[in-house]
Amino acid sequence: MVKPRNDRNLKSRDGKWYVDFTYRGKRIREFGGFTKEQARNTLAKMRIDRLDEKLGFRKPAIEPISFEVFADEFLETYCKQNKRSWARDEFSLISLKKFFRGKILQSIGPEKVEKYKAARRKDHLKRDGDVLVSPATVNRELACLKTLFNKAVEWGKLETNPIRRVKKFKENNVREMILSAAEARRLIENASPFIRLVLTVALNTGMRRNEILSLKWNNIDLFRRYIFVEDSKSGKSRKVPMNSAVIEALKDLPRVSEFVFFNPETKTHIKDISAGFSVAREKAGLTGLRLHDLRHTAASKMIEAGVDLVTVSKILGHASIQMTMRYAHPTPENMQRAVERLAEILDPTRQKVDTPSDVAVEIKPVSHSSFRN
Reply yes or no on whether the pLDDT at 122 is more than 90. Answer: no
Contact 114, 82 (CB under 8 A): no
- What band does 368 get if pLDDT is binned at 50, 70 and 90? very low
- Round to whole Å and give the CA distance between 20 and 31: 9
Indicate the pLDDT class of residue 92, thresholds 50, 70 and 90: very high
Average pLDDT, the chain: 81
Q: For 206-252, what is each residue's pLDDT tens digit?
A: 999 989 999 999 999 999 999 999 876 666 789 999 999 999 999 88
pLDDT at residue 352, rounded to an integer: 54
User: What pLDDT does 56 receive?
Assistant: 53
pLDDT, average across residues 86-115: 92
Q: Is 373 exposed, middle or buried (0-12, 13-18, 19+ CB in 10 A)?
A: exposed
CATH of 181-327+363-372, one of 3.20.20.190, 3.30.930.10, 1.10.443.10, 3.30.1330.60: 1.10.443.10
Tell me how crowded residue 33 is: count the other CB atoms within 10 A of its CB: 17
Confidence of residue 2 (pLDDT cuts 50, 70, 90): very low
Distances from the Cα of 195 to the Cα of 112, 184, 230, 261, angstroms: 36, 13, 23, 10
Question: What is the mean pLDDT of the segment spanning 325-353?
Answer: 73
pLDDT at 195 exceeding the cut of 90: yes
Q: Residue 355 pLDDT > 50, yes or no?
A: no
Lowest mean pLDDT among 42-51, 191-200, 216-225, 328-337: 328-337
Q: What pLDDT is stored for residue 6 in this prediction?
A: 61
- In this prediction, residues 196-201 reach a mean pLDDT of 94
State the pLDDT confidence band at 11, using cuts at 50, 70 and 90: confident
Local confidence band at 53 (pLDDT 50, 70, 90 cut-offs): low
Q: Which positions ≥6 away from 304 have C-beta within 8 Å?
A: 331, 334, 359, 360
pLDDT band at 270 (very low <50, low <70, confident <90, very high): confident
| Helices assigned H by DSSP within 167-223 | 181-189, 193-205, 209-213
What 3-state class would DSSP assign to 131? strand
Quote the pLDDT of residue 331.
67
Q: Using pLDDT thresholds of 50, 70 and 90, give the confidence band for residue 370.
A: very low
> In this predicted structure, what is the pLDDT of residue 373?
32
Q: C-alpha 270: how far from its chain's center? A: 16
The lowest-confidence range among 50-64, 114-128, 268-282 is 50-64
pLDDT at 77: 92
Does residue 128 register a pLDDT over 70? no
Q: Do 259 and 216 touch, CB atoms closer than 8 A? A: yes
At residue 124, the pLDDT reads 53
**Which tops the pLDDT comparison, 26 or 312?**
312
pLDDT at 219: 93
Q: What percent of the chain has pLDDT over 70?
A: 83
What average pLDDT does the segment 3-10 reach?
Answer: 62
Phi, psi of 27 (to 5 degrees): -75, 135
All structural domains of the chain with their residue ranges: 7-55, 67-154, 181-327+363-372
